[in-house]
């Protein structure tokens, strides 16, 4: 081990030896940092900036905030919607793409997750925990017009169609997990998967 390495980096490398095939998220303050080859891999897979820990040692690194997850970019790439429990419970926040201008979006409910920005940038979908289970909501990026779109069963992981006309999501309303589709206003909710259960976290193809 290089004697010039700091005690922190020596600790990182000792842990990394035990998990050579895994990406090691090493907590430093309010960030999980990754170094060396892990940093290159995470930067590519997560689309986050690759920087350098020490200019002389030239150690590649990248990191993600501890209290932020499930990022969703605005269509123009200027803002990011994300989940954070920095105030005690998971809520949806918005920030500029450079991390500045953080503001809370959701003001109701104690558990809000799964943000998804509309293709036009005028709405954000998310899942809110209600007494009977999660339900899907649609809200304006300025925090106004928070509208509940689903009521039956547990509904999670909403995703916009590429043209913004439809929303797909997972639901157990029929007794088993299945994929459903509805219009952007919450109407015409229909089941589209027929596998017999266990279907969740749908993703649209990129074709319009």
Q: Measured between alpha carbons, how far is 44 from 127 in angstroms, rounded to an integer?
A: 28
pLDDT higher than 80, residue 94: yes
Report the residue count for the chain: 208
Residue 50 CA from chain centroid, whole number: 20
Helices (H), the chain: 7-18, 36-46
Q: Where are the domains of the chain?
A: 7-65, 69-191
121-175: per-residue pLDDT in tens? 999 999 999 998 999 999 999 999 999 999 999 999 999 999 999 999 999 998 8
Percentage of the residues of the chain whose pLDDT score is greater than 70: 94
Q: What CATH number matches the domain at 7-65, 3.40.50.1110, 3.40.1170.10, 3.40.1670.10, 3.40.630.10? A: 3.40.1170.10
This prediction's pTM: 0.71
Residue 92's nearest CA partner among 123, 70, 76, 63 is 70
Classify domain 69-191 by CATH number: 2.120.10.30
Segment 177-199 shows an average pLDDT of 92
């Amino acid at each position: 081990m290089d004697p010039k390495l700091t005690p922190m980096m020596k600790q990182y490398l000792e842990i990394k030896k035990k998990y050579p095939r895994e990406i090691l998220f090493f907590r430093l303050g309010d960030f999980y940092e990754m170094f060396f080859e892990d940093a290159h891999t995470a930067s590519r897979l997560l689309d986050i900036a690759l920087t350098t820990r020490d200019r002389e040692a030239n150690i590649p690194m990248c990191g993600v905030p501890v209290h932020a997850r499930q990022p969703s970019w605005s269509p123009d790439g200027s803002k990011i919607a994300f989940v954070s429990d920095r105030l005690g419970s998971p809520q949806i926040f918005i920030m500029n793409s450079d991390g500045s201008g953080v503001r809370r979006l959701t003001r109701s409910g104690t558990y809000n997750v799964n943000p998804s920005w509309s293709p036009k940038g005028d709405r954000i979908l998310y899942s809110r925990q209600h007494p009977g289970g999660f339900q899907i909501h649609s809200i304006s990026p300025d925090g106004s017009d928070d509208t509940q779109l689903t009521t039956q069963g547990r509904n999670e992981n909403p995703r916009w169609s590429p043209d913004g006309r439809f929303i797909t999501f997972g639901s157990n309303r029929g007794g088993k997990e299945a994929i459903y589709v509805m219009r952007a206003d919450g109407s015409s909710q229909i089941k589209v998967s027929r596998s017999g259960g266990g279907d969740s976290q749908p993703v649209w193809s990129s074709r319009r």
